[in-house]
Every structure is written in structure tokens, then in C-alpha cells.
Chains A and B, each alone.
Chain A
């Protein structure tokens, strides 16, 4: 039976290959930092279960130390020239899109297939296993037709990952922080505090506090991912899910989208809101935010309403 272990081996080998290619990249002044970072991640994927809890903790500290001291960089350039890309796009365009669609199609089909035919793969992890299979199929189909140099996908993939940098593990780190919050009982404490602010027994008041809190925390921090574990610990888990028995999938999914409404309204999310204003040479650096507020506010209201309607 295929388990998540198969996906971890695949991911570990991918990161290990990125690390090896990274060491050889002399154009990157921080190539050793990059290689160490992706190498440690490969170790975590391949051997995490053998490291023990404290060993994994040390591994995380090492990752944080590499990223926190600015040891991750990227080599400039290396893009395929635009003329070459355009010429290839004219030849292969529809095929490229088709290959790209293989991944979500297999992920979705596999999710249902593995539930329907139990015993092939761990049904609890059907989606992630199917995703990995989809990646392998897409890569095989693409390589067979395009016949690129053998290492081209890995090289280009590594360049894309180097561009993401340490942010590649931000979601995993935040998920882990959420677990520490849970262990320390952060949710209970904030839940008690907020409980006094929300009228006793007011379900709608609790939903409102959760939705607005997601948007506000996201605006302050510029990042809905960071706001999520905080607001879930504070309101989502103790009140909406535990006390009022809300559907955790709805509370989380739509709560995250309420946070995205906050992202549209804050200069702290510079990548999305300030950088494009500069890129388009707008006179008002907040012009993009101004254009977004009118959509973000009603949509936030809709999200709060949706949680209230769908989760309970």
C-alpha cells in the first residue's frame, strides 16, 4: 500500500538533488547556505522519523539559523531567453498547458479512486499521494515529448525554489507553531478573554470576532498565514469548533479567505500591493489598495456570513 512515506521519499530526493545542484552553482555567492538549507530539508523528509523529537528540533534550529543570518541567496540570470521561449511556446503551447493540467487532474481523480478502491493507498492521505503520482506522470509525459536535457527540470525547479528561498518552509513552521500554541493552552486563555468581550452564547458574535480578527491580524502582519494559527487558537478552536461544534473545514477554509480580504487592504503585504504600484509606475503608491478596498470589504462580510451559514 502506498503511504505518505512514498511522498516523503520523493520530496526528500527532490530536495537532495536541489542541494547538490546548488553546491555546484558558482554564480550564487551563498550557494553553501542554500545547499545546507535544502540538504537539511532533504534529511527531514528522508530521515525525520529516525531523528527523534529533539533531533528534529535541532534540525529546525539549524534551518532557522541559516535563514535568520541571511545565508540564502540566488544566482542572477539563468532564464531561458524570451525569444527561445516564444519560439518554443508557438510549437508546444497547448501541449504545455495539457501537461500542467495533469497534476490537478490526477490529484483529484486519485483522491476519489483511492477511496473507492481501498488497499492501494492510504485513504487518509489520498490527495497528497495522488498529487505526487500526478507530478511523476506529468514529468514523464513532458520529458518524453519535449526531450530536454536530463537535468533541466531539476535545474529549473531549483532556480524557482531558490527564488522562493526560506519562505518555502514558512507554512510548515507556522503549522508547527500552532501545535506549540495548542500545547501551551494559548487558545483557552484568549478564548476566556474574548469570551468576556463577546456576548455570552452569541454564536454570530463569535463568528464576527473570528472573521474580523483574521482580516485585522492579517492587515497588521501583512500575512494571512501568520494570522491563521493565532486566530484559530484564540477564537476558531475554543469557541467556533469546540463550544459551538462548527465544521472545522469550513471554519478554517473560509476563515483563511477572510484573512485574504485583509491582505488586499494592507501596505504590509508589499509584494501584492506596493510592488505592482511601482511596477505600473502609479503616482499613488496606495493606488492598488484603493482599488481593492471596495471589493475586500463586502467580500469580508460575505465570508463572515458564509461561516455562520455553512459551519453550523
Chain B
């Protein structure tokens, strides 16, 4: 029963916004002590696990490539691709962006788009302009909604695309944790099992974007 203290420490530490690395270490120490291990044994156990799961942190070797490509304008190129989505309708536009975001993320290109990179300078203004063309009497509340949906679409595209890439942090984390229980699983299996949810996310969110589109066409009923 006492070993659950580690879980409480994790929750409290994350909620109170302590440095997560400190929280994790405190949780490991408390859990180990509660299980009757001495400090040196806990440190050694954590050190062994850290050494055994080093592959979780090898994803950062891609950064020099990403840094090189971004210095030569990869983000600008991605932006110009997104700018070329040809849809006068707010629904079609955001569905197109959702698809592109999911595909980029699935290929490991998570940082070519994002809130500062693409949503604020590109997607939100394009969506707002499309909604305005559909309904010149757009209320302030409706403008807010279109902008909020632009940001939401970016998050959903990212979250439910990135886990298809073979070497994203969450996949290697799963591999690392399951390794700790004695299950050795290739990253490809986790990737493949992320695909059904990626499709479901696309279908569900596209349906909601289609409904947003219809709302933006109806004459404004809500006051600003």
C-alpha cells in the first residue's frame, strides 16, 4: 500500500509545477524506500534502468538535420505548401490543414508546423478570411470560434499523426516502459497501432469542421 506514495508524488509534483525531473527522482526514491530498498539500491536500480533505456533519448540525433533544413527554409516551404490549399470554405480549408498536419507529423516532421510557425501567421487568418467570405456579417464570437478551431485543428493533427512516426518520444517511452516489464517490442508495432486512431481522429474532427462550416454560413444569430 505504501508504495503508492510514488504515484501521489508524481501527481502532486506535476500539478504544483515542480521541475518534472526532480519530481520523478523523488517519486522513485519514495517508492523504493516504501518497498524496503535502501537508498544506494534505489539509485543503482534507477541508474540501471536509465542505462538500459538510453535509446529513448537517441531521437535527438535528428536535430542537426532538422537544423540544417530549417536554416535553408524548410518551414517556409511547408508554409507555402499550406498556403496553397485551395478552398474558399472554412471547413474545407481546415480539413485540408488537418490532413497535411497529420501526414507531416507521421513522417516525423512535427516542427515544420505549429502555433507560432503556421497557425498564427497563416491558418487562422486564412480561416477567418474564408469564413468572412461565406458570411460578411460574421460576429466577433464567430471569429473567435474560427480562430479557436484553427488552433484546435493543429493540436489534433499533431497528436494523432506523430505516433505513427517510428521514433517519436512517446513510442520510445512505451518501448522503454514495457522493456522494464520484460516485453521487448519493436517500435513499428506501436506505430502501426496508432493508425486506426489517426483515421478516427481525422473522421471525427473533419465532421466537426464541416459542422463549423455550416454554422458559419447560417446568418448570425448570436450577438457579439
Does A67 sit at the interface, judged by CB under 8 A?
yes
Does B102 sit at the interface, judged by CB under 8 A?
no
Knowing A174-B177, A186-B4, the reply to whether A256 touches B35 (Cβ < 8 A) is no
A–B pairs, 25, beta carbons within 8 Å: A8-B55, A11-B54, A44-B54, A48-B51, A57-B46, A60-B46, A67-B22, A92-B73, A94-B77, A100-B109, A108-B188, A132-B58, A170-B169, A173-B24, A175-B49, A184-B6, A225-B173, A241-B181, A249-B189, A257-B159, A264-B155, A272-B155, A299-B200, A306-B200, A310-B196
A277 to B151 CA separation, bound complex (whole angstroms): 8
Q: Mark B39-69, 1 if CB is under 8 A from A, else 0.
A: 0101111111111111111101111111111
Q: Nearest CB to that of A192 among chain B residues?
A: B1
| Most chain A CB inside 10 Å of its own CB: which residue of B112, B179, B193 | B193
A153 to B194 CA separation, bound complex (whole angstroms): 31
Which stretch (B131-139, B141-149, B215-223) binds chain A? Answer: B141-149
Are B197 and A302 in contact (CB-based, < 8 A)? Answer: yes
Question: Closest CB of chain A to B93's CB: distance in Å?
Answer: 15
Of B73, B147, B163, B180, which contacts A280 at CB under 8 A? B147
Residues of A within 8 A of B196 (CB): 254, 306, 310
Of A4, A10, A86, A171, which contacts B73 at CB under 8 A? A86
Does A89 sit at the interface, judged by CB under 8 A?
yes
Are A139 and B150 in contact (CB-based, < 8 A)? Answer: no
Residues of A within 8 A of B21 (CB): 63-64, 67-68, 166, 169-170, 173
Are B10 and A249 in contact (CB-based, < 8 A)? Answer: no
Q: Nearest CB to that of A225 among chain B residues?
A: B173
Are A175 and B176 in contact (CB-based, < 8 A)? Answer: yes
Residues of B within 8 A of A174 (CB): 24, 173, 177
Are A156 and B64 in contact (CB-based, < 8 A)? Answer: yes
Does B130 sit at the interface, judged by CB under 8 A?
no
Q: Nearest CB to that of A269 among chain B residues?
A: B155
Which stretch (A23-31, A202-210, A287-295) binds chain B? Answer: A287-295
Residues of B within 8 A of A146 (CB): 68, 72
Are A230 and B7 in contact (CB-based, < 8 A)? Answer: yes
Does A197 sit at the interface, judged by CB under 8 A?
no
* Majority-rule SS of A interface residues: helix
Question: Closest CB of chain B to A271's CB: distance in Å?
Answer: 9
Q: Which residues of A contact B (CB under 8 A)?
A: 4, 7-8, 10-11, 14-15, 41, 44-45, 48-49, 51-61, 63-64, 67-68, 70, 80, 82, 85-90, 92-94, 96-97, 99-101, 103-104, 107-108, 111, 124-128, 131-132, 135, 138-139, 142-143, 146, 148, 152-161, 164, 166-186, 189-190, 217, 220-226, 228-230, 232, 234, 237, 241, 248-250, 252-254, 256-257, 260, 263-264, 268, 272-273, 275-277, 279-280, 282-284, 287-288, 290-292, 294-295, 298-299, 302-303, 306, 310
A92 to B68 CA separation, bound complex (whole angstroms): 12
| Most chain A CB inside 10 Å of its own CB: which residue of B19, B44, B145, B174 | B174
Knowing A108-B166, A272-B155, the reply to whether A176 touches B148 (Cβ < 8 A) is no
Q: Nearest CB to that of A293 among chain B residues?
A: B152
Knowing A7-B55, A132-B61, the reply to whether A88 touches B208 (Cβ < 8 A) is no
Of A166, A290, A295, which contacts B204 at CB under 8 A? A295
Are B167 and A45 in contact (CB-based, < 8 A)? Answer: no
Q: Which residues of B contact A (CB under 8 A)?
A: 1, 3-4, 6-7, 10-11, 14-15, 19-22, 24-25, 27-28, 31-32, 34-35, 37, 40, 42-58, 60-78, 80, 107-109, 111-112, 115-116, 119-120, 124, 144-145, 147-152, 154-156, 159-160, 163, 165-167, 169-181, 183-191, 193-194, 196-197, 200-201, 204-205, 208
- The 7 A-B residue pairs whose C-beta atoms are closest, nearest first, are A156-B67, A89-B73, A175-B176, A57-B47, A56-B47, A57-B43, A179-B180
Are A292 and B204 in contact (CB-based, < 8 A)? Answer: no
Question: Closest CB of chain B to A80's CB: distance in Å?
Answer: 5
